[in-house]
Structure 1
């Protein structure tokens, strides 16, 4: 990596976020240049040549952004390529550069410190805008306090982003303090508080709605006692913010005295009502990106809406929810929910991480998503270029830094003895690689072979500590036999077609230095037909690593379960357990048929029955929906579709087999 390619992306990130409150053009220009840099890296395949293993979470984020654009494109097409709609689509299309942004920032190994400096510059720009305005008024604070301060841009946009930037800067202050950098921590604390205070001068009511929730998100960063104090302090800060703002205080007082809402809220309620009517009239398609504008204009012309709506609300409905519902219907609501809640769910998973950079970046990511959710209740944030681009760059930057820090956080070495157990039969093509990968985390390797007719046992003896050839009693009993031979405190149960990736090995060793659970699930990365699946068939995380004491396997013929004593803690790791399920399609059909029939026999053994072929059909269909849609299998392309169909066929065959067994049983009883 050359010096320019290493330094340019972080510089553009700093300029983009730091200049957001000064000019939307600075933010847009820096984002575009950063995306171009990412495009160059993609064309050269630079990240992949460097061994970058794409986190599936980033692919999921990418889906959320392009799905939002896809829905907008469909709305524009359905309304007939409307000119007004094309302008909105032009704004939404910015989301398409998410992947180049992520590639650029991931390739250079963006760290938490750089990301927090960039977020801190948002506060600095808010302070700069305030000082500049103060200087232009000859340092007369009274004059600034009599107006809605917007720093030269829309007061709503300035207020929301200044508040969010201030809270994010305080998270940065916590990060620097807890990593021993006291001077930067103090500067960030002052800047964060200042930006938050300045944001209140915008008199933006959505700030007061969002403020308590933003502060709540920060509580995991402090100790338990401080959290209790924080829960008491947050309402006090909210009350002070309301009292100090004339606009909000007057609104609250009017409502308490039985008065009416002020003009701003009354207009919003009116336009939300119109937007809801548009949605109810066209729930599946909406009225189109430009159709919303035409409906508002028509309502005003017919005297059904206030004339003022042409000035304030003809472009959008001042609410992300109502705006997407009106313009794009149910798909629009879904696209908005995904672009908010997918990032929220991904970041929230790491809020309580013991790794300081990870925990602070996760908090920052949740803050951005939560902030935009509440800002979007009363403002169409994704129809404003400044809001939309800030969200795009902030999420891309925080996510890139988070997964880089996660990968770099696994540094400890395990101090627990681990036994790896593998059962085999005719696995000579897989066994060597499986055992080599097991050695990355295991002190003892045990192989139980069920009478292979190939070189499986011979190869296993080169790598394993214990190799025994036995009969075949079924998956559950055979794995229990292997478990009973283990002597380690912890056991890793593998199948011969599975591999422990180097990153998963580092993560396992890191956790077993000081275990925070009694058992761990290891997410699958099913690899077939030359493709690694990140979703669909890989949507499961089977239990594979556990503390040996008191654990046993069920006696199932297939799909055995690990029986963990009650009260033990189970966690899911991030690293992937590569699973080479099939050699080719023929092997897929053979293996699928075998597992389906064993599943039929197992269910029949347990007394399960099915009396109609409708049930196998419905179960097969439900499996396809679950694998292909609910587990996002469609993101794995053609192989993802083929896998979903194959998996659905296995489910159908399993219950069809059970139907035949039930039918035979009924026939035998009838003859008796």
Structure 2
């Protein structure tokens, strides 16, 4: 694809987000075209040919979107492929376009500027719709104010998305102001504020619930002095919005003075009760995607519900959580939670990033997820095509842009002297690559060998600054010896089977230009059997880089720890520390047995005991569950499963070995054997 193609992809994104409220067809068409482009790029492997190292966070987001579709498909299958359920599945199935969208937006190199320009168009479209409506009504402004403004669509959908678009535009305004584009920033601030005001004309109650949380999401973008002021102003803004909302004021007055809710809320509560009953009857499978509709229709026909429910409440339960619980049971609840909270966690992690574009994109992404959570309290947003498609495109494009910005943000040069330490024994297959990668971030390399019988020492002497051969006292003591020989202010402690990737090297050098912590964890990327694992065992981030002063290693025989003085700050970097754990399965078995037995000896040395074989068994099962399920090891496929089983076996062997160490080596009475 050429630069013209990238411009076309950017234009499609702008059209999709900016035109969402003008016409759902514009949003759907732009999303589909972007996804088709992503599919073509995937087939051609165009993005991977550029050297793209796909972030594991994007894979996790992809899983969240696919799992939602999978849960819906399972529900539809179990109910017997119902027609009503099929229509709902057709809406949910749009989520399978998430990865093609990621590929297209990433390939187009869409960053913060393009993203926020597209977001600004949302506010512009809200204003345009409002002005067009006034013109169509020949200036009947008072009449407009006395009705629920919906911009030609459902007032709830318009109000929610207009509010979200307005808040996102405020984020865009702050971004461009920080970029010294004050005129653009000012115009976007005015447009965003206008869109928020117009959204309130929809009289949507969920807007009032979401507004304070969306405003709070802006706080990290403000200076330290403004943050306190912001926390004072937010309640005033929310109170003002409630007071000026006739519908909200009426609801609150009725609740506070008469103890009664308005008709709309009473109906919703009754619908929620119906959904909860359906879930309690079928907690594991739900009643099916079409089952909710059929149940409400049958209850109305039986006279148990008012006929009004046919008009308002047959399609969904007006609450995302309860709707998924009723139709898909526990899998539905889980799929909804993953769809909201996985993106929320990924965006929120970067809210306080020092990199301005990343922080603003993270704020925008956090707003989208938080907004949908609160909108979903009174509306089944993921059952409405407009809501669902907007969420799909917004999350995919914001996430892609954020990681594009992150990858390009590591530009500073290291200003701290770093010593890399490596301990070895018979590592001739690994040592050259390890030391070469370490040189990307280290001024000094120290290798301590424990009597290798191969060419490890010879190779190391050609690449390291200090190479010494010693005895073998155990991992902890040996690494402490290497640490004591380091002269750098910072130390990078590597194993011979680990590699610093180029992107991780850029990140380390960037952070050590002006460290924001005293030590850094480096996320593993275990690489075995031709596959790089992003989850499971790679879910760990071992401490490897630290300020040398006051730091030491524990004296453990295996699984030593780096002892950081209390009060020091530790952060986790994003780049991956490639870890070649073993050469083949035979080496895996050999290494696993060695580490398990050393672990047994270490625990025995500390006085630990295992009295029955039940404990090793339970610990082994727990390790499998942790690696394969809790750390999402299943996303790594067959190799992920094999790795989880292998580590479960290591855990079992370690505690089984400890059990044997507490038993006599020989029978107490030799005559028992005769």
Q: Report the TM range for the smaller structure's normalisation.
A: over 0.9
Larger mean Cα displacement after TM superposition, 101-110 or 65-74: 101-110
Aligned twin of 1:129: 129
| Aligned residue number for residue 282 of structure 1 | 282
Take 1:201 and 1:468, find their aligned partners in 2: how far apart are those partners? 76
Q: Give the structure 1 partner of residue 230 of structure 2.
A: 230
| RMSD, aligned CA | 1.2
Q: Residue 240 of structure 1 aligns with which residue?
A: 240
For 2:102 and 2:264, how far apart are their aligned partners in 1?
39
Inter-partner Cα distance in structure 1 for 2:125 and 2:665: 77
1:611–1:663 Cα contact (<8 Å) kept: no
Residue 374 of structure 1: aligned partner: 374
Shift of 1:454: 0.2
Aligned to 1:345: 345
2:172 aligns with 172
2:217 alignment partner, SS class: helix
The alpha-carbon deviation at position 354 of structure 1 amounts to 0.8
C-alpha distance in structure 1 between counterparts of 2:142 and 2:239, whole Å: 22
- Specify the SS of the correspondent of 1:269: helix
Corresponding residue of 1:312: 312
Offset at residue 140 of structure 1 (A): 2.2
Cα distance in structure 1, aligned partners of 2:256 and 2:224 = 36
Equivalent in the alignment of 1:465 = 465
Q: Kindly provide the CA deviation profile for residues 499-539 of structure 1, in whole angstroms up to 9, marking residues without a partner as x.
A: 00000000000000100100000000000001000000100
User: Is 1:441 aligned to residue 441 of structure 2?
Assistant: yes
Q: Which residue of 2 aligns with 1:608?
A: 608
Residues in 2 aligned to 1:669 and 1:233: alpha-carbon distance in whole angstroms = 83
Structure 1 residue 665 displacement after superposition: 7.8
TM-score normalised by structure 1 residue count: 0.99
Counterpart secondary structure, 2:260: coil
Q: Count how many residue pairs are aligned between Structure 1 and Structure 2.
A: 671
Shift in Å, 1:669? 13
Contact 1:206 1:374 in 2 (8 A): yes
The Cα of 1:425 is off from its aligned counterpart by 0.3
Q: What are the Cα deviations for residues 425-447 of structure 1, in whole angstroms up to 9, with x where unaligned?
A: 00000000000000000000000
Residues 589-627 of structure 1 show CA distances to partners (whole Å, capped at 9, x for unaligned) of: 000000000000000010000011111111000000000
The alignment status of 1:94 with 2:94, answered yes or no, reads yes
User: What does residue range 541-580 of structure 1 map to in structure 2 within 5 Å?
Assistant: 541-580=541-580
**For residues 285-332 of structure 1, what are the alpha-carbon distances to aligned partners after superposition, in whole Å with 9 as ceiling and x for unaligned?**
000000111111111111111211111010100000110010001110
Corresponding residue for residue 85 of structure 1: 85
Q: Which runs of 4+ in 1 moved over 3 A?
A: 665-671
2:497 matched to which residue of 1? 497
Report the 3-state secondary structure (helix = DSSP H, G, I; strand = E; otherwise coil) of the residue aligned with 2:376.
helix
Alignment of 1:514 onto 2:498: no
- 1:441-460 Cα distance to aligned partner (Å, 9 max, x none): 00000000000000000000
- The aligned counterpart of 1:591 is 591
Cα distance per residue 1:438-495 (max 9 Å; x no partner): 0000000000000000000000001000000001110000000000000000000000
The 5 Å alignment of 1:397-408 reads 397-408=397-408
Provide Cα deviations, 1:186-205, integer angstroms capped at 9, x if missing partner.
11001000000000000000
Per the alignment, residue 417 of structure 1 pairs with 417
Q: 1:670 to 1:259 in 2, by over 3 A?
A: farther
Structure 1 residues 309 and 410, CA gap change in structure 2 (3 angstroms): same
Structure 2 equivalent of residue 386 of structure 1 = 386
668 and 152 in structure 1: CA distance in 2 versus 1, 3 angstrom threshold = farther
Structure 2 regions of 5+ residues with no counterpart? none
Cα deviation, 1:401-440, whole Å, max 9, x if unaligned, reads 0000001110111111000000000000000000000000
Residue matched to 1:217: 217
Structure 1 position 670, deviation (Å): 13
Moved more, 5-14 or 358-367: 5-14
- How far apart, CA to CA, are the structure 2 residues paired with 1:670 and 1:264? 85
Aligned with 1:488: secondary structure? coil
The CA deviation string for residues 526-559 of structure 1, in whole angstroms up to 9 with x for no partner, is: 0000100000010000000000000000000000
Distance 1:614 1:197 in 2: 64
- What TM-score do the two structures reach when normalised by structure 2? 0.99
Tell whether the 8 Å contact from 1:604 to 1:658 is kept in structure 2 after alignment.
yes
In the alignment, the residues of structure 2 paired with residue 415 and residue 121 of structure 1 have an alpha-carbon distance, to the nearest angstrom, of: 42
Distance 1:566 1:207, change over 3 A: same
Q: CA deviation at 1:377?
A: 0.5
Find the residue that maps to 1:225 and give its secondary structure: helix
How far 1:664 sits from its partner (Å)? 2.8
SS at match of 1:257: helix
2:365 equivalent in structure 1: 365
SS at match of 1:378: coil
- 1:666 deviates by 11
Q: What does residue range 8-19 of structure 1 map to in structure 2 within 5 Å?
A: 8-19=8-19
Q: Which residue of 2 aligns with 1:197?
A: 197
- Per the TM alignment, residue 662 of structure 1 is displaced from its structure 2 partner at its CA by 1.5
Cα pair 1:522 1:576 within 8 Å, conserved: yes
Deviation at 1:146, TM superposition (A): 1.0
Q: Could you list the runs of 5+ residues in structure 1 that have no partner in the other structure?
A: none
The alignment partner of 2:556 has SS state of coil
Partner SS, residue 526 of structure 2? strand
